[in-house]
Amino acid sequence: MELGHNIKGQRAGLGLSQDDLAAQVYVSRQTISSWENDKTYPDVQSLLLLSETFGVAVDALIKGDMEAMEKTVSRDARHVTHLTAAMIFLLIAAFVALMWAGWQELDGWGTHTIPTFVLAGVLWVGAMVAAVLIERIKKEYDVETYREILAFVEGREIDRSARPAPSRLSRPLRVVLVAAGAAIVGFSLAYGAMALAEMLGR
């Protein structure tokens, strides 16, 4: 990315310290340092403030980064799609395994039920791993920021709905946990229904 080099050069050209620039664009000095060292990327609002401070167009600031951002967004979309599909498959498989374990228990399989429960647990853990990887990809490449910048430069409306609301748990992890809870409830209901049917059938 070339933006960090451009920010540092423009700042030096105006004789501004990182603290001076931070005050003008309403961020911390650490944030300016992160931008200049390519650790993070400024959002659209920050780019506009930088553009105004330096007296240059946004396009000039991010010149050279557009192609890299497009490749990153495209690559992210593919990876997230594959991981989401894997997560959904693993959740469904875990649910089926849990239902199968319940049937085994009622059918008197005894200790033979344990491997099925273990399989359900392994599948659920796999879904958790996929969810964590999805969130890590988004954070590592700052993909939502890139999407918004590309939309701004191309004159398209910026869709901020993709940005999740602040939460201790990411959306993929919430999906996995809710699915796990639903599976446990479903297993309990199915187990109870089968047990009741067996009692009535005697």
- The predicted structure's pLDDT at residue 202: 53
CB atoms within 10 A of CB 140: 10
* Amino acid in position 172: P
What token pair was written down for 78?
A: 């593919």
Between 142 and 51, where is the model more confident?
A: 51
132: CB partners within 8 A, 6+ apart: 172, 173
DSSP state of 165: P
pLDDT given for residue 20 in this prediction: 95
Q: How far apart are CA 181 and CA 97, in angstroms?
A: 15
Is residue 170 pLDDT above 70, yes or no?
no
Output the pLDDT for position 166.
47
Phi first, then psi, for residue 5 (nearest 5°) are -65, -40
Q: CA distances (Å), 56 to each of 7, 53, 131, in order?
A: 11, 8, 40
On the question of pLDDT at 9 being above 90, the answer is: yes
The alpha-helical segments, DSSP class H, found in the chain are 3-13, 18-25, 29-36, 44-54, 58-61, 66-106, 113-141, 143-153, 171-201
Concatenated DSSP letters for 12-32? HHTT--HHHHHHHHTS-HHHH
Mean per-residue pLDDT for 11-32?
Answer: 95
Categorize the per-residue pLDDT at 143 as very low, low, confident or very high, splitting at 50, 70 and 90: low
**Is 80 exceeded by the pLDDT of residue 105?**
no
Between residues 26 and 188, the one the model is more confident about: 26
Residue 79 pLDDT level (bands cut at 50, 70, 90): confident
Mean pLDDT of all residues in 13-36: 94
Please give the pLDDT value at position 175: 65
pTM of the model: 0.56
What's the confidence (pLDDT) of residue 50? 95
Phi, psi of 41 (to 5 degrees): -125, 135
User: Looking at residue 53, what is its pLDDT?
Assistant: 95
Distance CA 103, CA 109 (A): 9
